[in-house]
């Protein structure tokens, strides 16, 4: 089974590239983030024409998540257990389904903005809800392969940003955020590290200042899974080629191959 996660930064703007990428790479399941469309406006028919079922959650603003699957899409869950609100709204940041015998959560974590911003506190509360949700699912089905994939908006280590000195005092690299990743490990989830095809396995390069060409990237699109999932992983990599060219997202897809029994 081939699983992928990709922050497309507007599925409408990226639809042509998304469809071409699906045809070329033939993933069985894809988690998409930052749809920037409502659930109803998701281009379901175009994706279904390639053989995928679709579950989408969006409100039309800058968030939104979706799962595409050609190996089944059952037990769909929209949102986290006791997910916190931001400014009185339930943001569409998490979606789950069981696909081909694997429980898959696709997430788009809050950015946090600045360390003294209320969005940062919201980000930490959101990760606590993610951990509680995952712990409940692990307890209910400990032998079921489970993964949480998506845009975590956290760089796990200093080596996961192009120059840690540029991030002093910034979000994405704080001890508080990284502690949330450690907390996921404490409930039995381990990180699947992508192999580097060319240099560092960054997944995001800002559109500004020609960051991609300069190698000014970050690794914030992550894959965590329980032992039943990680034991099946045969390969994982970042598709840097998809970050190139006109009309690319500022994120590259992360691809995970599984050897299922």
Residue 20: give its domain's CATH number: 3.60.10.10
The whole model's pTM is what? 0.97
Whole-number Å distance between alpha carbons of 124 and 110? 9
- Per the CB < 8 A criterion, the answer to whether 141 and 103 are in contact is yes
- Per the CB < 8 A criterion, the answer to whether 182 and 129 are in contact is no
Whole-number Å distance between alpha carbons of 130 and 260? 26
- Per-residue pLDDT 10s for the chain (261 aa) are 999 999 999 999 999 999 999 999 999 999 999 999 999 999 999 999 999 999 999 999 889 999 999 999 999 999 999 999 999 999 999 999 999 999 999 999 999 999 999 999 999 999 999 999 999 999 999 999 999 999 999 999 999 999 999 999 999 999 999 999 999 999 999 999 998 766 678 999 999 999 999 999 999 999 999 999 999 999 999 999 999 999 999 999 999 999 998
Domain that holds residue 197: 2-258
Per-residue DSSP letter, 12: T
Quote the strand ranges of 109-228, DSSP E. Answer: 146-151, 190-191, 204-205, 217-218, 221-225
Total tally of structural domains belonging to the chain: 1
């Amino acid at each position: 089974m081939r699983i992928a996660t990709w922050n497309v930064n507007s599925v409408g703007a990226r639809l042509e590239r998304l469809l071409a990428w699906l045809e070329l790479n033939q993933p069985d399941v894809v988690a998409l983030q930052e749809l920037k469309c409502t659930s109803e406006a998701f281009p379901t028919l175009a994706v279904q024409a390639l053989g995928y079922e679709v579950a989408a959650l969006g409100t039309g603003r800058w968030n939104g998540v979706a799962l595409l699957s050609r190996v089944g899409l059952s037990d769909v869950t929209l949102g986290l257990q006791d997910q916190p609100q931001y400014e009185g709204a339930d943001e569409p940041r998490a979606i789950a389904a069981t696909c081909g015998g694997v429980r898959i959560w696709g997430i788009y974590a809050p950015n946090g903005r600045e360390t003294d911003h209320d969005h940062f506190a919201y980000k930490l509360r959101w990760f606590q809800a993610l951990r509680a949700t995952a712990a409940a699912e692990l307890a209910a089905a400990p032998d079921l392969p489970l993964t949480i994939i998506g845009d975590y908006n956290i760089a796990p280590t200093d080596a996961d940003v192009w120059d840690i000195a540029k991030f002093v005092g910034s979000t994405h690299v704080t001890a508080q955020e990284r502690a949330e990743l450690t907390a996921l490990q404490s409930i039995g989830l381990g990180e699947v590290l992508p192999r580097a095809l060319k240099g560092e396995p960054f997944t995001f390069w800002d559109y500004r200042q020609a960051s991609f060409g300069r190698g000014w990237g970050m690794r914030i699109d992550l894959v965590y899974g329980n032992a039943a999932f990680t034991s099946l992983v045969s390969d994982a990599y970042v598709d840097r080629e998809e970050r190139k060219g006109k009309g690319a997202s500022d994120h590259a897809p992360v691809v995970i191959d599984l050897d299922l029994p």
